[in-house]
Amino acid sequence: MTDKPLEKPDSKIQKVINLCQRRGLVFSAAELYGSFGGFFDYGPLGVELKNNVKQSWWRRFVLQREDMLGLDGAVLTHPRIWKASGHVDAFNDPLVQCEKCKHRFRADHLIEQELNESVDGISEAKLNELLKAHKLACPDCKGTLTDARNFNLMFKTSVGATEDNHAYLRPETAQVIFANFKYLHQIGRKQLPFGIAQSGRSFRNEISPRNFVFRGREFEQMEIEFFVHPEKLDDCPEFDKIAKHKALFCTAAQQEGKRQNQENQAGKGKQSHENKENKKREGDEGRKKNNAIVYAHENDSNGQTMTFADAVKQKIIQTKWHAYWMAEALDWFASMGLTKLRLRQHRSDELSHYAKETWDVEYDYPEWGWKELAGFANRTDFDLKAHAKESGKDHAVFDESTKQKVVPHVIEPSFGLDRLIFTLLLDAHHEQKETKAGKENEEENSPNAAKGGKPAEGQKQKAAGPAEDAKIMLKLAPNIAPVPLAVFPLMKKDGLAEKAREIYAELKKHNPAVQYDESGSIGKRYARMDEVGTPLCVTIDHQTLQDGTVTLRERETGEQKRIKPGSIKV
């Protein structure tokens, strides 16, 4: 089974996928053997980007906090972990098969595609009803489809020399945390509330992987399980720090209302009236200009912008710890430049069996619309109680502050790393049509001109490629860009390459990810770096030999200034 066909060739998403493959950021695995659906390899630049994001997450949510313990658990896991969690019995997707061509599909995706309507989380019986009612056939050959049946998404393998010692590749990192809770609580010397964080690979045997890395079969998660006294979910000392932060909230009630509106074609007036009210309120707040960070477009028809303080006060979010973790996540996303986000609450018909309340951070994708980037579930004591039952070991812990023995409740912030990487690339992707005249102007501003002397022979000729080239720039935040700075000698001769290598070696001491490039025209080298989001480039020319200054060129503005290399912060 191969990946679903991708987007239209001229779509923004397809352009980013092309860039990822052309520059080796991330690409289909095993292309040498005709690719391997749902698996991806990260190349030299991709692995740096991924490491930067992972490290940023780890620093912020683990190292900088006093209430977090880190974990790196095994990927191949004991089957009883998944018996306890319910994955063995219930981690299924509805599968239908074509009786004629034998192709298999996810019933819910097929229905969504054909009817253009979300059927997330609805029952198998209901799916079969819809398949029949709309007479849905095989999209490949129009053959008859079987009834939907459950297909377990866990990869099963055997351990040791006997076939019957089976194990699973973990389908999520969360359960490995829960299975370690008792032990880590004991050795970690933390009082409630505290969290355990883990980032690492998970595996799901998706029936139809799709949307590039968005739904792969092997992926990386970054998850936190935050353990709180069951009666203290509103006792969050850090809430004040985020209380005035704003976000765009799309509540379950709003979605359910919307659905009803769509169904009976009524209530249009009411909705627009509500929007007007929101707009008015936003205007007032905007004038007050508090210091809150605004994460989303205000007055968006897809939700309502308000502060976390208001969201908790109005019981839109049930508990302060839940609100706090969502605000923290939005703040972290914003530190990487990602702000086109909203918080969407799960409707009652899509809520997982283990969760009391769940919100997703969603990004507004071109063509795809709003899709999940991270999830925030209140898992209550469901998992700890399940492992207590399966293991026969008490999972209650002693809480100093109340002198009580309690099984903690859990707020779970869960991030998908691969989809985040793709979203960062998509969000940073900018394209400019470049005219021949524009190119020449750019050349005049190049270090050749800055030098005041004659441009080197052949320099300009090489730079002038075909007119009307689309110029691609990734406006990645400097803290995550795979290459933070690149060093170029204007040309290899006259001792410029040697001088450039000297400066490069010095800068590399401060940041080992700094790169050196001496091939091709200076314009091409800038373009290559713009394309992968390098924020700064340094060029060494003849003036460097005289006064030790270099040209520092800024990615977005193209602005160039002469400075001493020692003053560059990288």
Where does this chain bind Zn ion (CB under 5 A)?
A: 98, 100-101, 138, 140-141, 143
In the complex with Zn ion, which residue's Cβ is closer, 79 or 143? 143
In the complex with Zn ion, which residue's Cβ is closer, 95 or 243? 95
CB of 115 to Zn ion, least distance (A): 19
In the complex with Zn ion, which residue's Cβ is closer, 99 or 394? 99
567: which DSSP letter? G
- Greatest distance between any 2 Cα atoms in the chain: 82
CA of 568: how far to CAs of 483, 536, 540, 549, in Å? 15, 10, 14, 11
The β-bridge relationship of strands 40-42 and 485-489 is unpaired
85: which DSSP letter? H
CA 142 to centroid of chain Cα atoms: 36
The β-bridge relationship of strands 429-433 and 409-416 is unpaired
Return the closest-CA partner of residue 415 out of 125, 245, 174: 174
Bridge partners of 144, per DSSP, are none
In the complex with Zn ion, which residue's Cβ is closer, 140 or 277? 140
In angstroms, rounded to a whole number, what is the distance separating the alpha carbons of residues 25 and 533? 12
CB of 132 to Zn ion, least distance (A): 17
CB of 38 to Zn ion, least distance (A): 20
In angstroms, rounded to a whole number, what is the distance separating the alpha carbons of residues 303 and 298? 9
CB of 486 to Zn ion, least distance (A): 51
Side-chain half-sphere CA neighbours of 180 within 13 A: 21
CB of 442 to Zn ion, least distance (A): 53
In angstroms, rounded to a whole number, what is the distance separating the alpha carbons of residues 412 and 530? 37
Mind spelling out the 3-state secondary structure of 398-433?
Answer: EECCCCEEECCEEEEEEEEHHHHHHHHHHHHEEEEE
CB of 111 to Zn ion, least distance (A): 16
In the complex with Zn ion, which residue's Cβ is closer, 143 or 230? 143
In the complex with Zn ion, which residue's Cβ is closer, 141 or 467? 141
In the complex with Zn ion, which residue's Cβ is closer, 101 or 125? 101
Amino acid code (one letter) for 4: K
In angstroms, rounded to a whole number, what is the distance separating the alpha carbons of residues 523 and 343? 42
CB of 142 to Zn ion, least distance (A): 7
In the complex with Zn ion, which residue's Cβ is closer, 138 or 486? 138
In the complex with Zn ion, which residue's Cβ is closer, 5 or 466? 5
In the complex with Zn ion, which residue's Cβ is closer, 138 or 341? 138
| DSSP sequence for 102-165 | --EEEHHHHHHHHH-S--TT--HHHHHHHHHHTT---TTT-PPBPPPEEEE---EEE-SS-TT-
CB of 108 to Zn ion, least distance (A): 18
Q: Could you count the other beta carbons within 10 Å of the beta carbon of residue 510?
A: 12
CB of 107 to Zn ion, least distance (A): 14
CB of 104 to Zn ion, least distance (A): 10
In angstroms, rounded to a whole number, what is the distance separating the alpha carbons of residues 562 and 539? 10
CB of 97 to Zn ion, least distance (A): 9
In the complex with Zn ion, which residue's Cβ is closer, 113 or 479? 113
In angstroms, rounded to a whole number, what is the distance separating the alpha carbons of residues 183 and 10? 53
